[in-house]
Amino acid sequence: MNPLIPLFVVIPLAGAFLIMILGRFIRDFNKYFASLILLVLVIFSIYSLFTTGEKVSLYKVGGWEPVNKIPIGIYMVMDGFTVIVLCIINIVGFLSSFYSISYIKRFTSENLYYALFCLMIGGMNGVVLSGDLFNIFVFLEISVIAAYALVAFGVEKNELEATFKYQVLGGIASFLILFGIGFIYWKAKTLNIADIKEVFSTGYDRTYYLFVQILILSGFGLKAAIIPFHAWLPDAHSSAPSPISAMLSGVLIKAVGIYVIIRLFFNMFAISTGMSILITTLGTLSMVIGVFLAIGQWDIKRLLAYHSISQMGYVVLSVGMGMILISRGIKPEVAALAIAGGIFHLINHAAFKGLLFLNAGAIEYTIGTRDLKEMGGLAKSMPATSATSFIASMSISGIPPFNGFFSKLIIIIAAIMGRFYLLALLAVIVSIITLASFLKFQRYAFFNKTDDNNERKIKEVPFPMVFSMVIMSILCVLLSLLVIPGIREAVLTPAINILMDPGKYSSLIIGT
C-alpha cells in the first residue's frame, strides 16, 4: 500500500478544522497555514507524478484485503491519470490560496474562507483518488458544498442568486449521480469501479446499461457544465471571488466532472459507438456554442466563464474521438493521439484559464469594475497583470509558442488522421473566434486609452497576487514542453495507457 495516498485527503480536511479553531486565536494563522498545507500537497503531487509512471498504487482503507478476489473495503487508487489531475488541483489550489492573502482582505470571515477552501481541495483530491462510486459521490459533495458557500462569499444579491442557481442545478446533478449509482449497485452488487467492470463484462441488459450510462453522463455533465448542462456556470464563476473563480473553472469542473466521466467511461463501462458519438457531439456543441456565447460579453469574468465551456468542449471532443476509434477497433495510434490531446488540453486549460481569472481579479481589485467598457490604458500602470494576461490570452487562443497551441494542434491532427474533418475545421474556427474575443479583452482592458487613469492613481496589485500570476504565466510556457517525446512519455503516456487498457486498471486492483 502507498501511505502517501490518504494524505491528499487527510491533510486538507484536518487543515480546515485547525484553521477554524486556531484561526480565532492566532492572527493571520489561517492564510499562511492554508498556503503551507497546499504547498505540501504540491510537493506530494509532483513527487507522485514522477514516481508513479505505469504503476497502479493502492491504499486499502482499514486494511481490508480482497475476499476471493472481490474488493470488500474502500480502495483509494493512484495511477498515471490520477497524478496528473492531482497536480492540477494542488498547484492551482496553492497559487489561488497564496493570491488570496491580499485579495480576500476586502471580505470578512477569512477563517471561513480558508477553511472552506481546504475542504474544497480535500474533496476534489478524494474524488480523484476514490476507487469506488460511493466515495466519489461523498467527496464530490464535500467539494461542491464548499464551492456553493464560496460562490456566495460576497453575500451580495448577485452572489446569492448565483449560488442558489448553482445549488439547485448541483442538487439535480447529485440526484442523477446517486440514482445512477443505485442502479449500478442493484445489478452489480458492488460499487468498486474495477469490480463493476468485471461484473458488467460477463453480460448485461443493453437497454439497462444505456440508461445507467445516460444518468451518469447527465449528472457529471452538469458538474462539468458541458452544453446543454451549462446554465449555472456563467453566474457562479463570475460572482465568486476571483481565486475561487480560478478554482471553479481551472480545477473543479475537471475534478468532479470531466475526470469522472473519462474515468468511468474508459475504466468501468464498455466503450460503445453510440455513447462515444453522443459524448463527441456534446463536446462539439460545448466548443462551438460556448465561444459564440463568450464573444459578445463585456463583463470579463462572464466572458471567461463562457470560454471555460468552450475549452472543455475541446477536451470532451478529443476524448470522444478517441472513444469512437476504440469502439470501432480501428486506428489505435490515432485514438491514443486524440486522448493525449484531450488530457494535454485539460492540463493547459488549468494554467491559462486559472491565470485569466486571477488577472480579472487583479483588475477588479484595482479599479473596482469588471466592465471592459470602463477600463483602458492599464498596461502602463499594471505591467505584471498586463504581461501575464497577454500570455494567458495567447495561450487560450492557441498562438505558438504557448501551451494552448500545442494541445489544440494535437487535437486537430488527431481529428484529421481519424477522418473527422468537420470536427477539425470547427476546432480551427473556434480557435480563431477565441483569438478575436481575447484581442478585444486585451484592447479594451490594457490598451484603450482613458483620460482618468492618473486621477484614479492606478498601481500594480500586491506581491502575493503578482507572484501567483507570474508563476501561472511561466507554467503557460513550460507546459509546451509536454510535446517533447521524452517528457510526453513520462507524463502523458501512463495516463493514456491506463485509459486505453481498462483491463490493466481492474486486474491490478482485483488481483492484488
| C-beta of residue 470 within 8 angstroms of C-beta of residue 359 | no
For residue 25, the model assigns a pLDDT of 84
What pTM, to 2 d.p., does this model score?
Answer: 0.92
Output the pLDDT for position 229.
86
* Cis before 401? omega within 30: yes
Place of cell 469522472: 260
Mean pLDDT by 10-residue block, N- to C-terminus, for the chain (512 residues)?
88 92 84 92 93 85 73 84 94 94 82 92 94 92 92 79 89 92 88 84 77 92 88 86 90 90 90 91 94 89 91 94 91 92 93 93 87 83 91 91 92 93 94 92 81 64 92 93 89 90 76 56
Of the candidates 261, 276, 198, 259, the one whose C-alpha atom is nearest the C-alpha of residue 502 is 198
CA distances from 331 to 7, 81, 427 (A): 40, 22, 21
Q: Left, alpha or beta for 79 (phi > 0: left; psi -120 to 50: alpha)?
A: beta
Return phi, psi of residue 195, to 5°: -70, -40
Per-residue b or e along 176-191, where b marks 16 or more CB atoms closer than 10 Å to that residue's CB? bbbebbebbeeebebb
Q: Where are the alpha helices (DSSP H) in 72-109?
A: 80-103
State residue 13's pLDDT score. Answer: 94
In order of 69, 401, 443, the CA distances from 285 in angstroms are 42, 28, 28
Chain-centre distance of CA 192, in angstroms? 23
Q: Which residue has the cell 507524463?
A: 491
For helices 259-267 and 493-500, what crossing angle results, to 10°?
A: 50
Contact, 70 vs 510, CB < 8 A? Answer: yes
Amino acid at position 420, single letter: F
Instruction: Select from 160, 389, 428 the least CA-distant residue to 287.
Output: 428
> Residue 78 — φ and ψ, nearest 5°?
-125, 125
What pLDDT is attached to residue 310? 93
On the question of a cis peptide bond just before residue 228, with omega within 30 degrees of 0, the verdict is yes
The three cell numbers locating residue 32: 499562511
Q: What is the pLDDT of residue 479?
A: 92
Cell numbers 471553479 label which residue? 248
Cβ count within 10 A of residue 156: 11
Residue with cell 482613458: 450
C-beta separation of 395 from 475 below 8 A: no
Computed on alpha carbons and rounded to an integer, the radius of gyration of the chain in Å comes to 22
Predicted confidence at residue 203, as pLDDT, reads 66
Task: Look up cell 453480460; give the residue.
Answer: 203
CA distance 139 to 420: 37
